[in-house]
Structure formats: structure tokens, C-alpha cells
Amino acid sequence: MKKSIGFVVGMCVLLMSFQFRQQKDEEPETKAQLGEKLFFDPILSSKKTLSCASCHKPELAFADTTQFSLGVDGIPTDRNTPSAMNLAGRVQLFWDGRSASLEEQAIQPIIAPNEMNLPIAEAVSRLRESKFYSKYFKKLFKAEPSEKNLGEALAAYEKTLETANTPYDRYVNGDDSAMSPEAIRGRLLFIGKANCANCHSGEDFTADRFKNIGLFDGQKLKDPGRFKITKDSSQIGHFKVPGLRNVAVTPPYMHNGMFKTLKEVIDYYNRPDFFIKNGVNRDLSLSTPLGLSKEEISDLEAFLKALTDDRFVSKATN
């Protein structure tokens, strides 16, 4: 299975205790703990007003529930903020896949003008001038802060943000009562009639692939996604398939946050032409309506909610 019980318990303890390690006088003993302090420290934004956690909120499965998060100058981001959890095994990051590692990804929000808006040279300079950070980078990395070890520290923390304590995990581990009858039916639909598993596969329900699900029409929906990176016209409208763990906690959905609820998302896949008639290069798997009934849509929603880690259950949306 995805993680051993001991590993899961350890991760729960780590996440539950993050607030206690924000005190400056507590010494980080690992690179991950140093990365955690950096993740919550506004020192990495130009005006020292935002941290990584400002948009990747721990109580919301390290995502944001606004359509577009606001950067340091109140400028909205270009795309909806995805969860920073369950990324340890990912090989392409961001909606357009522009980063190939967590270490590389971790730097991008810092330097992005509409996010933290801090040149990397200035970020490194601030850390070197900080007695606290200079001391612990030297202790843990045997070097002064740099772009490379800053990315490594943040990535080390992000790699601890794994979840597997869900009704679904208990169900596949042999507890037949862990999921509701609705969620069990929804799982069968997910694998079968609804064809969700065609894209959302693996332990974290993402195949690390890019798909065009029809959310580009060149008119109202103008974000070309992967095409911005590759300049390959066959990839216009392609976006990275997101993982689905804790998805019930992270509305709104899609790269542009256009759907407010899971039911809206499922309804879109059920009849995409009802929402967007002229999606350019839409994947052929969406060429025919799924024909899901209201009950089947509710069952699918129940299954998606069963992917919620126990610590976030109270935040799961209806």
C-alpha cells in the first residue's frame, strides 16, 4: 500500500505540530523542518507580507479556496492554487508542467511577479543576513543559503506532506465498512462507466500526464496551458491531470477555478457540450456524454469525498 501505518502516523504528527515549530527560538533539526519554517515565513516575499502558506493553507490541504490567490501586491495569480500535498512522487509540477522537480518548483512562486515578487538574489541575500537562517543552513547544508539549497529545503518539507489516512485507503486495505455504500458504488463508476481512472490513476490519482478536457476555446477561455511551455500546437489547452487526494477540501476546481463544487465538475464530464460547445482539441474520450444519472453523480461525489484524509474531514465541501 501507499504508506505503512507507522509512516502515516508520523506524517500526521508532523503536520499537526507545524504550528509549534514556527517559533524562532526552536531549532530545526532536519532540512524538512528548516523548509517548514521557510514555508511559513514572509521573509521570502518582496514586502514581507506573504509566505508560501498564504496561498497553500494547511487547513485546506495546502490549497486555497479562492478562484485565484492574491499576490504580494494584490494581483491575482494566473491560475487556481493547487494543493501542495502528495507531490513527492510527481515528475512535472504546475498546471503547465514547467518544473520537473519540487526543488525547482519551490523557487518559482518566490520570483513570480504576481505572487511573492522577490528576485532570487534578494531572497538569498535576506537569508544570509538572517542570523537564524544563516546558522541553520550552515548546520544542515554545510553551506550558506543559496538558490539551490533554498529549493532543497522547501522541497524537503513539501515531501513530508503525504496523506493516506482516508476511508478509501482503509477500504482497499481490507476494511469493507470504511466506505459508505454510495462511495463503493462511486468507486466502481470511477473505474468503469465514468472513465475517470483513464486519467486519474495511481496512488494519488494522477498519471502525471497532460490532457485537454475542453477548457480552451480561444474566446472566453484563452489559457493555452501546456502550449505556453512547449509551443507544440497539439498541446493547446492541455493541462496537468491533478491528483485527487483531499479534492473535496480544495474547491474551486480546474486550472481556472471555474467550477465551485465536485458535482459541477462531474456534471461537466457527464455532458461537456452543455457547458462549453467549442472546446479546441478536446480529448476524444469526452466526445460522447457519459449518461450518468443523478444518483450516479452523487455516488461519484461520495467516492471523491472518501479520498479525504481524516484531518481534513470537517473541511470537506458539500
Give the residue-averaged pLDDT of 34-53. 97
Q: Which residues are known binding-site members for heme c?
A: 52, 55-56, 196, 199-200
Domain tally for the chain?
2
Of 158, 178, 198, the last residue of a domain is 158
pLDDT value at residue 15: 45
- Whether 62 and 200 map to the same domain: the answer is no
Q: Give residue 278's pLDDT.
A: 82
Is the same domain home to 309 and 172? yes
Residues 6+ apart with CB under 8 A from 301: 186, 262, 263, 266
Of 269, 275, 307, 306, the C-alpha closest to 288 is 269
pLDDT digits (tens, 9 = 90+) for 191-217: 999 999 999 999 999 988 999 999 999
Q: What is the domain range of residue 78?
A: 5-158
| Cis peptide bond N-terminal to 252, omega within 30 | yes
DSSP line for 55-69: HSBGGGTTB-SSSS-
Mean pLDDT computed over 223-228 = 96
Q: Say if residue 49 is in the same domain as residue 111.
A: yes
Residue where one domain finishes, among candidates 158, 189, 221: 158
Q: What is the pLDDT of residues 125-136, one digit of tens each?
A: 999 999 999 999
173, 194: one domain: yes
153 and 176, same structural domain? no
Q: Does one domain contain both 23 and 109?
A: yes
Which residue among 158, 192, 226 closes a domain?
158
Residue pLDDT, tens place only, 117-173: 999 999 999 999 999 999 999 999 999 999 999 999 999 999 999 999 999 999 999
The domain that holds 36 is classified in CATH as 1.10.760.10
Distance CA 295, CA 298 (A): 5
Please give the annotated binding residues, written as ranges: 52, 55-56, 196, 199-200
pLDDT at 313: 83
| pTM check: above 0.85 | yes
Residues 139, 189 within the same domain? no
If asked whether residues 191 and 239 sit together in one domain, one would say yes
**DSSP letters along 263-276, please?**
HHHHHHHH-HHHH-
pLDDT at 34 over 50: yes
Residues 194 and 286 in one domain: yes
Do 189 and 93 fall within a single domain?
no
- The answer to whether residues 142 and 279 belong to one domain is no
Confidence band of 284 (pLDDT split at 50, 70, 90)? confident
Q: Tell me the average pLDDT of the chain.
A: 91
State whether 237 and 283 are in the same domain. yes
- Higher confidence at residue 270 or residue 21? 270
Q: What is the mean pLDDT of residues 7-34?
A: 60
